[in-house]
Chains A and B, each alone.
Chain A
Amino acid sequence: MMTDSNRETLERILAESKGIHGVSLWQDAWRRLRRNKTAMISLVFLILLAVMAFITPLLPLQSPIDKDLNNRRFLPPNLQAVVMGSRADLKFEGGTLTGEMAKFDKMIVALQEDAAQTGDADEQQKIAESIQSRMEVEHPFNQLWNELDPLSWKMTEIRIAVFGDYSIPSVFGTDKLGRDLLARVFWGARVSLIVGVIAALVSLIIGVSYGAIAGYFGGHIDAAMMRLVDVLYSVPFFFVVIFLLTFLGEPDVKAWFDSVGVDQIMVFYITIGAIYWLTMSRVVRGQVLALRHEQFIEAAQTIGASPPRIIFRHLVPNVMGVVIVYLTLTIPSVMLFEAFLSFLGMGVAPPDVSWGLLLNDGIEALSIIKIFWWVVLFPGAALAFTLFALNFLGDGLRDALDPRMKNRD
């Protein structure tokens, strides 16, 4: 029974509620995050870092793997110009990369002409194979860079077209084999960041699904699943991983992995990722469990919201906050772990380069007689700043997404 005054009241309340503008969780969080200076600086730094790592092949850097044991060992940071491909032992045409590339291209063109002239299919086949093998072995890129993937190859070509033989001087100095440290730090960033991100994503996928399933079903399933997590917490994963990596290092095992098209570094990413999911699953499970009984979920059910709406409008955003925060905190610990393993000679293997490997090289070069400080400082600073930034951003996100925790600073 609806009287007029009642309808009036209801209409008035509706009108009033229209005047209230809600701020979504994310807008609100973003507003709070923007006010957090350290977090914003960190965010900008990380975005820049990711972009730089991605476009590394485009930058006029020196070769990260070209050794010069005679003239360039342990050069301190300097501004002396270095022409690409000028090292005498490379025997590049005209002492430049562009010169050698021109010569190489000419040779390939000559071969292709040969192939076009001869009518014999066998001969053609042979020449094509020879072109192929020369591209793989003799192309100047393959002497200055380590196994460029197609995209990086294209980017390097663009870089040569733009910058020619110019390269940035060794402003970070050179290492014990005469390699340019600046280039190595940049190329190392690619590996270190990818390890961190991929492993963190693996942990995210496993952790979120495991935690959500446990939290959603609750009861006995939840108890059993969480008991398993408890037990796994007591397994010394660091040692298990090393143990496993030992097996992966066996020539036969390696060969088998190669035959199925999985390289060791991939296995490495996945192994690390697979051990970092435990905490994530606990966190997500706790959140889902708590949210299922929250009043706003019940309220949403009472007013007849559909389950997908409840899940996507209410549950997911609330869990996502914690997940993102935890993700930003997982990446640094994975990167540290990679550095650890590389330091022990069990992680990324040369000629691949990562920050952990660079640090290991640097520490080996530390001695009382002559301090080659730059070989430790630059890779160390790169790693430390990245980890700082990730930690600060993680903290900032946590504060921004969870205002109740504002006091945590």
Chain B
Amino acid sequence: MNNTPADRSSEPLLQVQDLQVTFKTDLADVRAVRGVSFDVYPGETVGIVGESGSGKSVTNLALMGLVPKPPGRIDGGQVWYDGQNLLELDDRSMQSIRGHKIAMIFQDPMTALNPLMTVGQQLTEMTRLHLGLSKSAANDQAADMLELVGISNAKKRLRDYPHQFSGGMRQRVMIAMALSCQPDLLIADEPTTALDVTIQAQILELLRELQEKRGTSIIMITHDLGVVAEICDRVLVMYAGQVVEKAEVKELFANPQHPYTKGLLRSLPRFDQVTDSLYAIPGQPPDLGNLPAGCAFRDRCDVSVEQCSQEAPELYSLHDGRLVSCFVAKEEASNA
């Protein structure tokens, strides 16, 4: 768990309220994000967990203003940062926030860097734009950043092209790039998924170290609960475009409330038990282009009740600030 306690007494850095994103496809309108809300406080790391297609990446692309339009469309909601709603900003103001105040690193470091430009060009591009550095100052700063993320011989490597770096090294370059303007918030979209396990650990370690040094808030998008346990303070569990559970990391692992979260935790490999096979949540996620009424998880749920097929549960507040979107969990909590 994180060593630096996040300062949650102050104002949140970023507030996402009731975000809704739809993709228009040939067959149907796919409601990728259906009313997601959460806050990010200065210095904390928020994890967003869910399987592919749960809307976690789209949520974050939306708050960066990077949802491809068309086919994407923001149907509603607000994203408050620094007193302004990011969803309503014009292109120019949004550009001055992107990369400068809110930066992002992507899943696949192999493709996220421009193969035709040197790493130096790609690093300095941003600082020259946002910080107005001169060419030589930007170069010096870029070399410092590379050293900071643990790339040796930095000055020389600035002249190299991305294909001359290994996968892990490229992700370090991405991190250096993302942090080079000292952003308030870093969105990391599955930064370790495409990497070897040992490299994964190094990258997470690096992120944690850098956060300590700089106090940057991080949104960590992942489908890997191991990563969450490693680095996050709080966690949102997303399913079918909605947040189904929100909790402190320790509490989530100790006492999951939503049946989906329970399923996720059960499907983790355990070294303290001998089993032949891993648990898998039965069934498939619902078709977001054609959602049935009621709870989206109902068909895969082993505790579902009559009510689940009639109405969709809201995000109910339980004891000590935990939120869960499940009738059964709410019932149990109130009985306890």
* Residues of chain A having any CB pair with chain B under 8 Å: 1-3, 6, 9, 12-13, 16, 35
Chain B residue numbers with a CB within 8 Å of A2 are 276
* Contact call A1/B276, Cβ cutoff below 8 A: yes
* Contact call A16/B277, Cβ cutoff below 8 A: no
Contact of B306 with A by CB under 8 A? no
Contact of B83 with A by CB under 8 A? no
Chain A residue numbers with a CB within 8 Å of B284 are 16
- Closest chain A residue to B280, Cβ basis: A9
Interface of A is mostly: helix
Chain B residue numbers with a CB within 8 Å of A6 are 276-277
Contact of B82 with A by CB under 8 A? no
* Partner pick for B283 among A1, A9, A16, A35, CB 8 A cutoff: A16
* Residues of chain B having any CB pair with chain A under 8 Å: 26, 276-277, 280, 282-284
Tell me the minimal C-beta distance from B109 to chain A in angstroms: 20
* Partner pick for A12 among B26, B277, B282, CB 8 A cutoff: B282
Q: How far is the CA of A155 from the CA of B110 in the complex (A)?
A: 64
- Specify which of A9, A16, A35 lies most central, judged by the most chain B CB atoms within 10 Å of its CB: A9
Tell me the minimal C-beta distance from B266 to chain A in angstroms: 13
Tell me the minimal C-beta distance from A58 to chain B in angstroms: 42
Tell me the minimal C-beta distance from A405 to chain B in angstroms: 16
Tell me the minimal C-beta distance from A16 to chain B in angstroms: 7
Q: How far is the CA of A37 from the CA of B24 in the complex (A)?
A: 20
Chain A residue numbers with a CB within 8 Å of B283 are 16
Q: How far is the CA of A355 from the CA of B52 in the complex (A)?
A: 56
Q: How far is the CA of A48 from the CA of B332 in the complex (A)?
A: 70
Q: How far is the CA of A16 from the CA of B276 in the complex (A)?
A: 21
Tell me the minimal C-beta distance from A31 to chain B in angstroms: 9
Q: How far is the CA of A2 from the CA of B276 in the complex (A)?
A: 8
Tell me the minimal C-beta distance from B30 to chain A in angstroms: 16
11 pairs, A vs B, C-beta closer than 8 Å: A1-B276, A3-B276, A6-B276, A6-B277, A9-B277, A9-B280, A12-B282, A16-B282, A16-B283, A16-B284, A35-B26
- Closest chain A residue to B26, Cβ basis: A35
4 interchain residue pairs of minimum CB distance: A6-B277, A6-B276, A12-B282, A3-B276
Chain B residue numbers with a CB within 8 Å of A16 are 282-284
Tell me the minimal C-beta distance from A1 to chain B in angstroms: 6
- Closest chain A residue to B277, Cβ basis: A6
Further 7 A-B residue pairs, CB within 8 A, beyond A1-B276, A2-B276, A3-B276: A6-B276, A6-B277, A9-B277, A9-B280, A12-B282, A16-B283, A16-B284
Chain A residue numbers with a CB within 8 Å of B280 are 9, 13
Q: How far is the CA of A374 from the CA of B284 in the complex (A)?
A: 64
Q: How far is the CA of A220 from the CA of B280 in the complex (A)?
A: 46
Tell me the minimal C-beta distance from A72 to chain B in angstroms: 54
Q: How far is the CA of A6 from the CA of B280 in the complex (A)?
A: 11
Q: How far is the CA of A3 from the CA of B277 in the complex (A)?
A: 10
Q: How far is the CA of A1 from the CA of B283 in the complex (A)?
A: 25
- Closest chain B residue to A35, Cβ basis: B26
Chain B residue numbers with a CB within 8 Å of A9 are 277, 280
Tell me the minimal C-beta distance from B151 to chain A in angstroms: 31
Q: How far is the CA of A1 from the CA of B274 in the complex (A)?
A: 13
- Closest chain B residue to A32, Cβ basis: B26
Q: How far is the CA of A2 from the CA of B277 in the complex (A)?
A: 10
Q: How far is the CA of A12 from the CA of B277 in the complex (A)?
A: 14
Chain B residue numbers with a CB within 8 Å of A12 are 282
Q: How far is the CA of A1 from the CA of B284 in the complex (A)?
A: 27
Tell me the minimal C-beta distance from B282 to chain A in angstroms: 6
Chain A residue numbers with a CB within 8 Å of B282 are 12, 16
